[in-house]
A and B are shown apart, each in its own frame.
Chain A
């Protein structure tokens, strides 16, 4: 028997089509022949106003293909794929958490471009990343954080990588040193300046105790005394006090070094063998 294959299927409104025996048929027509077969697994990709998410695991019961011709006389295939629902996820799984564990995803401006077709093939490791939340954590945190930063920071981090570990632009052999460098960069570029800003504002209040400092800010003033891009310090200090320690705690979660003894870590390193930083980040 051929080994089982794994798919991601986009099936809009599948819940409505469900029969009593948890089975339903997904019908579609296309030129390519779907090469999946009975016993293959599929994860369902759904979407709503909040975004894309995985909602269930199906198993394929049967695949029927019927060749026909389209309006232009080309041969196309009517597909009837019969699914049985194995499991509906209790908690819907927003796709963002899993993207960095799926090798094909490289377009970080529009990651959903990789899932345009009705179905996409994945491997067992990627399948289990989604179904069991066993993601490639180091790559997920590294990519997630770097892509969330404004372009100025992302570009500067790339400069730092170029100085300290240029090999990552050819191949990332180990994600831990890259993650450690990201932490160092964030400390230099954001964390310490945040702490210094908090200190400075507090110091200012101590020096000028009778002055209202709500408007204290950095800005650029032009020749007509017009201020552009005023950066209010008090507001930022409040934000820093609310978020900085939580941010540091969460960031630290990527820091627990896993070794090659960890099978999952080893398998992911193998899967992503040969990929580099360009596959991981948004374009500069």
Chain B
């Protein structure tokens, strides 16, 4: 490696590790999720990628519209945020125009009986009539995405238990009978815990009982996903 190549490597390192527009750190820099810092918020790019994969799968059967916050066009949340502050999607079934729902990314859902508690699944399907202050009555189905490193391997029991609690709290046990028409992703019609890593294959009964599903190996350039539950 020549001095010029070294300088070039450092230059590219600097460019690729920051957002050009904001100067903020780019990427998933939280190796240990439990050690998360409140001041330094990592990107949610894997979560966003999962959202787009899902929208891509639905797009052939649905008219998709992005609903923008009137003041901020096309902004998605960096960290859990209020639905009224960000954009989300409205989907309308092409073959049956009165079949509609919303898909929200990274925004909070409350409970009708708990004014101070909010829950933020990465992706939530909500009723067509859900307002900017949704609660469990509007929630149809939830997804949560877990980007795992090689060291972590994949989902752990804590991930499953925490997610299953959200399913209870948001009362989305009926996810798998919602009239959502997936194309290739028919096996995602459930409350899915999606990961690029490994699913816990011996948790099939647990998942079925608590209305969740694990989707493992969900990653770039990987076609064969693993479905548990």
B76 and A218 form a contact (CB under 8 A): yes
Closest Cβ of chain A to B5, distance in Å, is 6
Which positions in B face A, CB cutoff 8 Å? Answer: 1-3, 5-10, 12-22, 24-32, 35, 40-46, 48-49, 51-53, 55-56, 59, 64, 66, 69, 71-79, 81-82, 85-86, 149-151, 220
A156 and B30 form a contact (CB under 8 A): yes
Closest Cβ of chain B to A60, distance in Å, is 27
Task: Give the docked Cα–Cα distance between A118 and B219 (Å).
Answer: 56
B9 and A144 form a contact (CB under 8 A): yes
Of all chain B residues, the one with the shortest Cβ separation from A203 is: B52
A235 and B20 form a contact (CB under 8 A): yes
Identify which of residues 158-206 in chain A touch chain B, using a CB-to-CB cut-off of 8 Å: 159-160, 163-164, 184-185, 188-190, 192-197, 199-200, 203-204, 206
A66 at the interface (CB under 8 A from B): no
Chain A residues, Cβ within 8 Å of B25? 150-153
Given A190-B16, A193-B26, 20 additional A-B pairs, CB 8 A: A144-B10, A145-B10, A148-B13, A159-B31, A163-B31, A184-B150, A192-B220, A204-B55, A206-B56, A207-B56, A211-B66, A218-B43, A220-B77, A221-B69, A221-B86, A230-B75, A231-B24, A232-B21, A246-B8, A251-B9
Task: Give the docked Cα–Cα distance between A220 and B3 (Å).
Answer: 40
Which positions in A face B, CB cutoff 8 Å? Answer: 93-94, 96-97, 133, 137, 140-141, 144-145, 148-153, 155-157, 159-160, 163-164, 184-185, 188-190, 192-197, 199-200, 203-204, 206-208, 211, 213, 215-221, 225, 227, 229-232, 235-236, 239-240, 243-244, 246-247, 250-251, 253-254
**B9 is contacted by which of A145, A156, A163, A196 (Cβ under 8 Å)?**
A145
Task: Give the docked Cα–Cα distance between A153 and B17 (Å).
Answer: 8
Chain B residues, Cβ within 8 Å of A213? 74
Task: Give the docked Cα–Cα distance between A93 and B4 (Å).
Answer: 10
A203 and B7 form a contact (CB under 8 A): no
Task: Give the docked Cα–Cα distance between A107 and B168 (Å).
Answer: 53
B75 and A221 form a contact (CB under 8 A): yes
Task: Give the docked Cα–Cα distance between A185 and B74 (Å).
Answer: 31
With A188-B150, A235-B21, A247-B12 known as contacts, the answer to whether A137 contacts B31 (CB < 8 A) is: no
Task: Give the docked Cα–Cα distance between A145 and B40 (Å).
Answer: 21
**A164 is contacted by which of B8, B9, B76, B151 (Cβ under 8 Å)?**
B151
Across the A-B interface, how many residue pairs have beta carbons closer than 8 Å?
Answer: 204
B3 and A196 form a contact (CB under 8 A): no
A150 and B3 form a contact (CB under 8 A): no
Chain A residues, Cβ within 8 Å of B22? 229-232
Chain A residues, Cβ within 8 Å of B15? 239, 243
**A159 is contacted by which of B28, B35, B40, B44 (Cβ under 8 Å)?**
B35
Task: Give the docked Cα–Cα distance between A225 and B163 (Å).
Answer: 30
B7 and A246 form a contact (CB under 8 A): no
Task: Give the docked Cα–Cα distance between A137 and B5 (Å).
Answer: 12
Task: Give the docked Cα–Cα distance between A208 and B55 (Å).
Answer: 10
| A-B pairs with beta carbons under 8 Å apart, 16 shown | A94-B7, A96-B7, A137-B1, A141-B1, A153-B17, A159-B32, A163-B151, A189-B28, A197-B45, A213-B74, A218-B44, A220-B81, A221-B86, A229-B78, A232-B20, A253-B1
Interface centre among B2, B45, B59, B151 (most CB of A within 10 A): B45
Chain B residues, Cβ within 8 Å of A220? 41, 77-79, 81
B55 and A254 form a contact (CB under 8 A): no
Of all chain A residues, the one with the shortest Cβ separation from B15 is: A243
**Which 10 pairs across A and B sit closest by C-beta, in order of nearness?**
A221-B85, A232-B21, A196-B49, A247-B12, A250-B9, A97-B3, A231-B19, A193-B45, A203-B52, A225-B71
Closest Cβ of chain A to B32, distance in Å, is 6
B46 and A196 form a contact (CB under 8 A): yes
A97 and B6 form a contact (CB under 8 A): yes
Task: Give the docked Cα–Cα distance between A111 and B109 (Å).
Answer: 51
B13 and A225 form a contact (CB under 8 A): no
With A153-B25, A230-B22, A231-B24 known as contacts, the answer to whether A188 contacts B55 (CB < 8 A) is: no
Of all chain B residues, the one with the shortest Cβ separation from A201 is: B52
B78 and A231 form a contact (CB under 8 A): yes
Chain B residues, Cβ within 8 Å of A230? 21-22, 75
